């Protein structure tokens, strides 16, 4: 215990000059975390305004020498890159606040797919129909649906979605044809290209 205490004391002594900057930086981080947790249930406009106020305070320390200035610069840069989607979870009901919550949905979908198909790797159908399958997997976990709920309310959007899925499916089939016989696939492609460019 004496050796451990001596090591700790030596470490604290040698890093003493860094602690004031670290305390200041962590105070800002905790304040940012408190605002984003939104315990006061503020509306999104008030939350944005409060967070901008915090960023303004941080900007005053950006030119500081040492670790604090570097930390503030990085924090401001990362915040700027995340800003367009930073408050989306307060505008859209039931949208998870963190990437971890969103990744949990994808992880659960992969787990159930492995259980259902016996595949260790992701199913190729996820690439083609993931836009629909993942949404369906998440939605059915949240609530049960009656047959009437499955009827499309917007036929134009439904047809657009079907066309997009068919387009992805056709692209997947083209990849398979290329892998099976690349020479024949390229020959057909060249013939189609020549036909479309030659005058009638």
Considering the domain boundaries, does residue 126 fall inside one?
no
Considering the domain boundaries, does residue 31 fall inside one?
yes
Considering the domain boundaries, does residue 128 fall inside one?
no
Please give the chain's pLDDT, 200 residues, in tens.
Answer: 888 888 888 887 887 777 877 888 888 888 888 888 888 788 888 888 998 998 888 887 777 666 777 888 888 888 888 888 888 888 877 777 777 777 777 777 777 777 777 777 767 777 677 777 777 777 777 778 888 887 888 889 889 988 888 888 888 888 888 889 989 888 888 888 888 766 65
Considering the domain boundaries, does residue 174 fall inside one?
no
Considering the domain boundaries, does residue 30 fall inside one?
yes
- Number of domains present in the structure of the chain: 1
Cα gap 174→82, rounded to integer Å: 37
- The three-point CA angle 130-136-137 to 5° equals 85
3 state SS of 129: helix
Residue 54: Cβ-neighbour burial (10 angstroms; 0-12, 13-18, 19+): middle
Considering the domain boundaries, does residue 177 fall inside one?
no
Considering the domain boundaries, does residue 122 fall inside one?
no
- pLDDT tens digits for range 33-50: 888 888 878 888 888 899
Domain that holds residue 13: 2-91
Considering the domain boundaries, does residue 140 fall inside one?
no
- pLDDT tens digits for range 87-112: 888 887 777 777 777 777 777 777 77
- Nearest Cα residue to 130 out of 116, 145, 150, 110: 110
- Which contiguous run of DSSP H or E holds residue 37? helix 19-37
């Amino acid at each position: 215990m004496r050796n451990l205490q001596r090591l700790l004391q030596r470490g604290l002594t040698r890093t003493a000059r860094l602690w004031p900057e670290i305390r200041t930086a962590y105070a800002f981080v905790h304040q940012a975390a408190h605002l984003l947790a939104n315990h006061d249930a503020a509306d999104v406009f008030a939350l944005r305004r409060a967070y901008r106020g915090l960023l303004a305070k941080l900007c005053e320390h950006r030119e500081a020498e040492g670790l604090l200035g570097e930390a503030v610069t990085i924090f401001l840069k990362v915040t700027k890159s995340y800003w367009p989607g930073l408050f989306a979870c307060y505008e859209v009901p039931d949208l998870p606040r963190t990437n971890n919550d969103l990744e949990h949905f994808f992880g659960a979908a992969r787990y159930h797919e492995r259980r259902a198909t016996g595949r260790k790797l992701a199913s190729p159908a996820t690439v083609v129909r993931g836009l629909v399958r993942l949404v369906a997997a998440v939605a059915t976990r949240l609530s049960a649906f009656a047959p009437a709920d499955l009827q499309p309310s917007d036929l134009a959007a439904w047809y657009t979605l079907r066309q997009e899925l068919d387009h992805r499916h056709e692209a997947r089939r083209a990849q398979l044809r290329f892998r099976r016989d690349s020479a024949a696939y390229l020959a057909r492609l060249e013939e189609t290209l020549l036909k479309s460019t030659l005058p009638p």
